[in-house]
Structure 1
């Protein structure tokens, strides 16, 4: 929950920027976080279906039983914080660059937030998938549907990271359109304010010849 709120704040900070680079990064991060956290949540639910509610106060050592889920957990978690080679890397880079250009302190806080998110993800991974071997009387190995989901999400995450041009180009076009619309509305609002002031001044002069 806190991880999702943190990423939502990152996206919101980019959408509030007044430059195309930052907004492009925010839109890219929006897509990458949606995809990454979907896989992240599916992995957690798959693990919970085997051992019940997960507690991070102890080690569970699920790696021996579900190495594919362990790999997907790590991949989706790192993708959500913009790890190089994943779908979130370019978007996070553009977001931070856009923030630093306008608000340096906000850009620094984004870097700090990403670092803390990374630490949280790695801590959770070690707690869930390492430790004393877990003994079970039933098989906890991954099912075919889970392995299929792992392969599909891994291809999307790594494919978006190794070939990001189409996604970034489309988000750049959307960001530019949003910025143009924002400038148009600001211009119209400014013109209306000037007209209102002129009308009020004329009315005042007419009432006091």
Structure 2
């Protein structure tokens, strides 16, 4: 028995024609809504805590639990405003868009190839940015933010499922074997991705976790 990826209501085994518009199944749509909501929640909480830190430098965020899980250390770092504005403010917009796409799919919307590829590019940027932030958190800032981890997880899941969606419909060229894998085992990709991150976190602070 295999676990299948969220099916799309316009799924075709051999892919869709370049000009065709496709939608997404309910499970796929809800995946976008829930991951977008998780990222939006994380961005909202971090933004509020960031404002409180600006008002009171002695403020301690509720998720600052110990020297490793220290949201305050992450929020006060230079990396927390990589583009000049606090990173979570970007998340408020980006995750809101993801929720809107998921809700549109639930309503029966269908989008052309260029739309899906643009959406995929956005999730790719999100994963790349999260990967940079992960590296900075582990090896430069030397602290983790739990709300950031929630946003990372949401972004990774949505990226792999949107990519698999585009592969299945032929919007991203791939051999038949890869399309079949994207259809049946999409869940493996985010699980492996998140597993690698978990191992990096575990080994980075092994002495702390085991002390």
- With normalisation by structure 2, the TM-score equals 0.34
More RCO (CA 8 Å, sep 6+): 2
- With normalisation by structure 1, the TM-score equals 0.35
Q: Which has the higher helix share?
A: 1
